[in-house]
Each structure stands twice: as C-alpha cells, then as structure tokens.
Structure 1
Amino acid sequence: MAPRKKKNASQIGSVSDNLPHNMGPVPEIIKSEIPAKALKEEPIDSPLPDSPVAKELVTPAKVTPETKKKAHKYKLNYEQSPFPDHPLPTPEVAEEVHRLLSKEHGQRKAPTKVPPPSATKSGCGEVPDLLDALLRTVLSANTSGVNSAAALQGLIQTFGAVNGSPNWHAVSQVKPEDITKAIHKGGLSVVKGKTIKNILSIIHAQNVERRDALLREKVTGEPAGVLATSHLTQIQKDAEIARIKENPLTMAWIFEIKKDSEIIDELLKLPGIGVKTASCCLLFNMQRPSFAVDTHVHRHCKWLGWVPLNATADQTFNHCDLRLPSHLKYGLHSLFIKHGKTCYKCRANTNPGSADWKKAKDCPIEHLVDRELTRKPRKRRRIEDSDESEGDSKVTSVKRKSSGSTVVKPTKKAAKITQSKPVKATPSRPLRASAVKARAQSSQVKDDSESEVEEVVSEYDE
C-alpha cells in the first residue's frame, strides 16, 4: 500500500480558520462589484396591550384607536337633512305660503338695524347685545309674554338697568338664590336663576382665558390658537383685549366666526341654550338667515306637510333651514307665529266643527294645510239607547231614560266579574258639551230604535 502523502503546512491553515466538524477552512468572501439591493422593511404588527409579548417589552407600542366623528349633541347635520327623501318644502311652495300670509298679515322683513332693548318686553333676541339676547330668551322660555316681562322687570328693579336692559354685571356678582328671588314672578325661577348664573360665569371665564392667551401671544410671538382670531391683525387683537378689560361679559368675538353652523354649536355649549334659542339669536341679534322653530312654526310645518308627522322641532329646523331660501326665513318665521296666534283655525287649541270654528274668518292657507295630521282623538264613549249591547259584552252599556238622564248598567259578563272580584268604584267624569248635545239629539229617537252615537273630541298638540 502506497504511503499517504502529507499535506503542506501552507495548505492546512490555522485551527481558528477551520470550520467545525472537520468541514475544512472558512471560504473567502468575494466582494461583488454590483452593489447589493437594500432589503425592504416590512411593517410589523404591534402586539396588543394585553398580550404577553407586550408585557415583556420595556416600552410597549401604543395602539391608537380609530377616530370616530363625534355625534352632534342635538343630532344636527348642517349638510344633510334628516329627511333627505322628503320633497317639501320647495322654493315655489315656500314663496306661495309667504305670499298668502303676507297678504293677510302684512310684510315681515328683517330690520336693517337691530332695535334698542325694551325694558318691558323680554323678546327672543331682538336686542343689540348678544349676551342680553341670550338671557332674555332664557327668561321667555316655557312661559307667557306677561310672565317673562315680569321677570325682566324684577331683574331691573333689583339690580338696576344699563341701556334699557338689566345690569348683567351686577347680576353675575350675586348668588343664584338672589336671581331666583328677583325673577320669581316669571315662572321656573329656580331653574332659570341657576341657568343665568352659570351662563354669566362661563362667559366671564372664557373672556379671561381669551385675554390671557392673546397677551401671551403678543409677548412670545407664538400663536395662541384662540377661536376666531386667526384672521385678525395685531391691532384688532389689541382691540379685543381692551374690550374684554372694559366688559368681561362681552360676546362680540362670536361675530368673528364665519360659519353659521359653528356659531350655533358654540352657543349650544352654554347651559340652558337649545337649538331654537341659538337660531333666534342668529336670526334677530346677528341678523343672519336662520329658520328658528318654535311651537307655532313647528305646528304649521307639520300641517303644510313640510316635515313628516313624527319630526321633532330640532329636526324641523334642520330640514327646513336647508330647504328654504334664505330671504324667506325671517318672514316665514314671523308670519307663522303671527298667524298661529290670530287665526282661530290655526291655533293650537282649535276645535273643528264648533260654533267658534264656523264663525271664524277663512284661513288664507286653508287649501294647503291638513290639520288632521296632528289631531289627537279622545277615547270614544259609546252612548246607546238599548238596554244592553249584544255585540260587545265587555263594554258597559249606557241606558237612557225618557227624562234624558243616563244610568250606567253593567253587562252580564261584567256583573259576573264584579261578583267574583270586588272592584273599587271610580267617579264618572262629567260629559263634555258635545256629549250633552249628542245626548239631546239621541233622546229624540224612538225608544225601540237601536241607533248609537259616538263622540270624538279632537284636540291639537300645543
């Protein structure tokens, strides 16, 4: 056997250069002249906060939740109607209603200048100062004009007057109980007293915050990010600082907001201020077109078919404010209120078929309204001439005597029930005038007749 050739020392190499398990020397890495392509970094999903992997990490990744658009407090949508498929009101229909009511009650046009405040009438925002307009509408909410005027007079007599309005600065310095005592003649004085105090406190705090932020911006040069100041010059910002210093209850900065929807949203942040109050201030005080919806406007919009029967007042505002032409909003609002108060057939408590209804003046929009939509019929009371109703054994029949008086007689099935289980007797309600009239007519029918008279008393929502 031939002897084994020994390898040269130069061919063996050092031990440190060999691969393990006698796999030979480490191969030399040959650098390529072509540059290598960069590896793509693929996104790695961050572990969930509650997972074991995330707990082991020193700084676990933050999971940012999906930002959802916050729903409006009053479910208003300034870009789309809550009833997008409802066809009315069209501009032509609105023009016709405005023409008919203007012919009946006279033209209603927005004044070129806001009138001075009245010391005897609270109103709904027809004053130059926005804060004064808001607080006057709070006084007039859910009460009559006489009561709201008495509340206004109580504030003026207790705290004094400034330019025909209560001294709101003096009102802001007292406790809610003192405000309640001053407006006790106006109704809901406890609630309104707290609301007025809260509004004054919030406005004062907002103005102090705005003033401090504008002063800080002037010193540091960094934008303060104050609402409705981004388009103002430094001279205009200095004027606002001086205005707040003179009157810490001013709301003049609201007029700098461009969009009407943003103004309404800003006013809705105040306690006790709803959509109708914000819309009234926008319409009367700020003189911007807005279709404010009160109880008269709401009722007419339903009767005219401008909104569905189940539409709320806020939904009616949202729908009609988008559909109506801007130049008709002031007139239709004022005319609906005037017509709802003066036309007997369009009042909230009207009674179709009554003597007053027949004597009432013809309604100029009679051919356009359907009052049956909001009528609430009472429960029917069956009045029979026979001794007992054979068709309905569960209903108590009413037996008539020849003298015209009525005697309630239980049926056979009802008599068995009362014998087995005692029932507390309830006093019978007195018949209405229409029932008495129906009873008189039915008494003229012969005794052997089986005719019956049904009474349905119609009532309208207030």
Structure 2
Amino acid sequence: MARAAVSSSSGTPRRSQRNIKKESDQVTIKQEEEAPRGKGTKRSTQSSTPNASSKRVKLSTSPDASIGTTSQRRAKQEEDVDAKHPSPSPRKQKTVKTKAEKAAELQEKKLKAYTQFSNSSLFPDFQHPTPDECKLARRILAELHGDRNRPEKITAPTNRAGCGDSASVLDALVRTILSQNTSDKNSTRAKLNMDKVYGGSDKWDAIVAGGQPKLQKTIESGGLSQSKSKVIIDILTQAKEKYGEYSLNHLFEASNEDAMREMLGFQGVGPKTASCVLLFCLRRESFAVDTHVHRITGLLGWRPKDCSREEAHAHLDARVPDEDKYALHILIINHGKRCEECRAGGKSLGKCELRKAFRSGKVKGEAGEDVKLEEIQTIKQEDHDVKTDHDAIAHAVEQPA
C-alpha cells in the first residue's frame, strides 16, 4: 500500500537508474550525429562521462581550421617548426652570372692556360715528334704535294678567304675567324659576299654601322654566322675604342707572347686562330693545329691519343723545329684533305707513304730515338719505286675538283 501511494502521488511512472542512463546516452549520440561536421574539425576520443567505460566522439575546433587541404596543413606545420628551430645556416642563394661576366671568365681561363704552357709541352715525357721525324715527314709530304716556303711578301687574296693571309693584322684575324669550323669553299663564299655587300675587304666602318644582324645575314653561307658576326663586331668595336682606329698592326712590334695574349683576349679567338695570324700575317714561327693537323699527328704518334687540340698545339709547338713549322702546317693540312687514307673517315689501306714511314715504330724507333733518314728509300720502295713512278704517288692523292 505504501508503495502504491508513493507512485500515485508522483504522477509519473518510476524509472530505473539503468533506463535513465540509456536515454541519456541516446540523446548524446543524437546530438553528435546532428552536429554539422565542418572543415578543420577533428575527432576526440575523450569520454563525455568520466566513469563511462566506452569512449565517445567529441567535436573540437582545431587552431588550423582555416587550412583546408593536407598540403596546406603540412606547409603550416613546417613553418611552425622553422619558427621554433631556425636553421643555423640559411640556404645560399645561387648567383646568376651575366654574359659579360661569363665572357670575362672564359678569357681569363684562356690566358691562364696559354701562360702555363706557352713555352713547354703539357706532356714532357712524350718524346715525339723528334726533329728528324719532322724532317722525314716534310720530305715525304713535299714529294707528294710539293714543298712549301714562306713568301717574301704577303698579299691578301681576292678570290678566297685564306687563313691569316693578309698584311693587315685585323683583316687576317677576320679572315681566320670566317674559316673557323667550315670548309675553304664556304669561308670563301662568306668573305666574297662580305666584300660585295660592304664595298671592299676592309670597310670596317660600314660593317660596324650596319650592325650585327646585317653582318650575320651577309656571312651566313660560311656557317655559324650568328656567333662569328658577333665576334667580328666586338673585335672591331674594341679595337676602335682602345686604339682610336680599326687596326691591330701594332702587334707587328709585339713579342710572340704579347701578340698571342692580346688576340686570345678577344672572345671567340682561340689558340688555333691566334696561331694562324701569328704564322701567316706576323710571320712568326708558330705551329697552328686545326682538325687535319690534329687528326694526322695522332695517326703518326706525334701526340698522346686523347689530348685536345689546344693541348696538341702546346705540345707540337714545343716539339716541331721552327724551320719546319710553316711548311709542315700547310703540307699536313693539304695531305689531310687529299689523301684517301688520312682524310676524315678514311680507311687504312697500307698505301699512304707517310703512314707507312711511321708505322710500327719502323722509323721513329721503339724507344723514341732519332729517325735514320737513310731508311726512307727502303720504306718507300716496299711496293713500288716512287722516284720513277709518279703515278704510284698519285694513288693516295685526291685530285682537286
């Protein structure tokens, strides 16, 4: 009776403690499901009741809520780390060099290399060619192509570009630049067109006034016209600014080293170009190394197999006797253009008189001893008598077109 009285006086049915807790849990879960899940929210495993055995999901606002993407959050975290732990040595900024700075750096390297090896070989232990080997090569090549001697007077050719063949140092330098990395035919076409467009071979004022684009178009038949035209304009401009006229003839009074250093100071002028001007125009003893000389001296064993043209120039200029430099330079180039075996891409057929003389250490000696000139005839007559049969010599020579 007492229990019934209590129940009726309250007006509501009595609920157990378990039912109250269950309903409370349902309300909590419902509220969490209805709450909007926005960006920047994260789940928390903290329970809503300290005594509950199960964990509940609770929404909390992250301080990075405004950062939506993973990459943005990662970047923000890296910034925070950098702010807390600054780098002891900040990253060094890469310096970008201007064209002028690059050109100055290149000129400095050229002059340094020339100064280091101007009077000696880079390969002091490489004992070839010997003076007698040079004389042997000259004798054989002279029989094949006719000997060469320096003329008494220099006259600039009017029907070809030439390579340093001029009484004017500036003209000789320009002609040699036109001959770089191209055939004689192409360089001649470029030079003749240049004379036609500007009205002569030494119209330097007109060339500079016309500008680089006009000169580039004028000499395009010679190849590499963009770089060559820029080099020529720069040399003319520098000569005018430095000496008050378009001339480099003061180099006639300079020493070999000073003349080489001044020419190498121009961008686009290397050891081969400067050496050609020194040999032909200034009439000094210098052994220029072009692609033919580099190839054939390699075949003869006159230089280390893997040395560059610049290294070969330093080595051969120190080894070849002065009295043979002019003739050997021209004869080797002539032979390199005409001999079927020694020309670029040629195959050894065992018929080239020059290569036969130097093959297998037969003449130059295994230990590098001097050549015995009396062996020449024995070697040259292995297959036929060259002295009496000129046709036998001509088999190794390509007739000019």
Equivalent pair of 1:155/1:166 in contact (CA under 8 Å): no
Among 129, 132, 135, the alignment partner of 1:92 is: 132
1:182 paired to 2:233 = no
The amino acid that maps onto 1:276 is: K
- For the Cα contact (< 8 Å) 1:139–1:192, is it kept in 2? yes
| Residue 170 of structure 1 pairs with residue 166 of structure 2 | no
Using the alignment, how far apart are the partners of 1:71 and 1:149 within structure 2?
31
The residue aligned with 1:249 is 246
Match of 1:79 in 2: 119
**1:275 corresponds to which of 271, 284, 299:** 271
User: Which ranges of 4 or more aligned residues in structure 1 deviate by more than 2 Å?
Assistant: 70-74, 361-365
2:356 pairs, out of 366, 390, 405, with 366
Which of 239, 246, 252 is equivalent to 1:203? Answer: 239
Alignment of 1:427-446 (within 5 A): none
1:369 Cα shift? 4.4
Question: What is the DSSP-based 3-state SS (H/G/I as helix, E as strand, rest coil) of the residue aligned with 2:113?
Answer: coil
Alignment gaps of 5+ in structure 2: 1-107, 361-401
What is the Cα deviation at residue 336 of structure 1? 0.3
1:160 aligns with 2:199: yes
Deviation track 1:133-176 (CA, whole Å, cap 9, x = no partner) reads 11111111111222111211221121101xxx241221122211
Larger relative contact order, structure 1 or 2 (CA cutoff 8 Å, min sep 6):
2
Which residue of 161, 168, 178 maps to 1:129? 168
The answer to whether structure 1 residue 310 and structure 2 residue 306 are counterparts is: yes
Structure 1 residue 131, shift from structure 2 partner: 0.3
Question: For residues 285 and 148 of structure 2, what CA distance do their matches in structure 1 show?
Answer: 14
Contact 1:125 1:284 in 2 (8 A): yes
| Kept after mapping to 1: 8 A contact 2:122/2:315 | yes
Q: Does structure 1 retain, via aligned residues, the 8 Å contact 2:156–2:165?
A: yes
1:304 deviation in Å? 1.3
Write the distance in 2 (CA, Å) between the matches of 1:249 and 1:71: 27
Q: CA deviation at 1:105?
A: 1.3
SS in 1 for 2:355: coil
Q: Is the 1:100–1:365 contact (alpha carbons within 8 Å) kept by the matching residues of 2?
A: no
Change over 3 Å in CA distance of 1:155–1:96 after alignment to 2: same
TM-superposition CA deviations, 1:1-20 (whole Å, max 9, x none): xxxxxxxxxxxxxxxxxxxx
Contact 2:170 2:249 in 1 (8 A): no
Counterpart in the other structure of 1:138: 177
Shift of 1:109: 0.8
Residue identity opposite 2:286 in structure 1: S
Find the aligned partners of 2:199 and 2:130 in 1 and give their Cα distance: 48
- Structure 1 residues 299 and 290: alpha-carbon distance in aligned structure 2, compared to 1, 3 A threshold: same
Q: Secondary structure at the match of 2:173?
A: helix
Kindly tell me: are residues 300 and 104 of structure 1, through their superposed partners in 2, closer, same or farther at Cα, counting changes over 3 Å?
A: same
The residue aligned with 1:147 is 186
1:412-460 Cα deviation digits (max 9, x unpaired) = xxxxxxxxxxxxxxxxxxxxxxxxxxxxxxxxxxxxxxxxxxxxxxxxx
Which residue in 2 is equivalent to 1:62? Answer: none
Residues of 1 paired with 2:133 and 2:274: CA distance? 26
**Residues 206-236 of structure 1, C-alpha deviation per residue, up to 9 Å, x if partnerless?**
103xxxxxxxxxxxxxxxxxxxxxxxxxxxx
Q: Tell whether the 8 Å contact from 1:290 to 1:329 is kept in structure 2 after alignment.
A: yes
Alignment match, 1:301: 297
Distance 2:192 2:119 in 1: 41
Say whether 1:112 aligns with 2:108.
no
Query: 2: distance between equivalents of 1:199 and 1:288?
Result: 22
Q: Sequence identity of aligned pairs in percent?
A: 37
1:190 and 1:133, CA in 2 relative to 1: closer, same or farther beyond 3 A? Answer: same
Given residue 75 of structure 1, which amino acid in structure 2 is its aligned partner?
A: A
Q: Corresponding residue for 2:399?
A: none
Counterparts of 1:416-431 in structure 2, within 5 Å, are: none
Residue 108 of structure 1 aligns to a residue whose secondary structure is coil
* Compared CA separation, residues 187 and 79, structure 1 to 2 (3 A): closer
Query: Paired residues, what number?
Result: 252
The TM-score normalised by the length of structure 1 is 0.52
Structure 1: any 5+ residue segments left out of the alignment? Answer: 1-69, 209-247, 371-462
> Could you list the per-position Cα deviations for residues 342-397 of structure 1 after superposition, in whole angstroms to 9, with x for gaps in the alignment?
11111111134xxxx58xx5434323147xxxxxxxxxxxxxxxxxxxxxxxxxxx
User: SS of the residue aligned with 1:249?
Assistant: coil
Residue 194 of structure 1 aligns with an amino acid whose one-letter code is: K
Match of 2:324 in 1: 328
Cα distance in 2 between the residues matched to 1:125 and 1:184 = 20
Q: How far apart in 1 are the matches of 2:122 and 2:151?
A: 31
Q: Would you say the 8 A contact 2:140–2:353 is kept in 1?
A: no
Distance 1:278 1:362 in 2: 31
Letter paired with 1:124? C
* Code of the aligned partner of 1:257: A
TM-score by length of 2: 0.60
Higher helix share goes to which structure?
2
Q: Which residue of 2 aligns with 1:192?
A: 228
8 A Cα contact 1:108 1:331, kept in partner: yes
d(CA) in 2 for partners of 1:138, 1:365: 31
Larger Rg: 2
Asked whether the equivalents of residues 97 and 365 of structure 1 are also in contact (C-alpha less than 8 Å), the reply is no
User: Whole-Å Cα distance in 1 between the matches of residues 127 and 354 of structure 2?
Assistant: 23
Match of 1:339 among 329, 335, 339: 335
- AA paired with 2:343? R
What SS class does the counterpart of residue 345 from structure 1 fall into? coil
Deviates more, 1:319-328 or 1:179-188: 179-188
8 Å contact kept, 1:150–1:186: yes
Which of 282, 286, 290 is equivalent to 1:290? 286
Per the alignment, residue 55 of structure 2 pairs with none
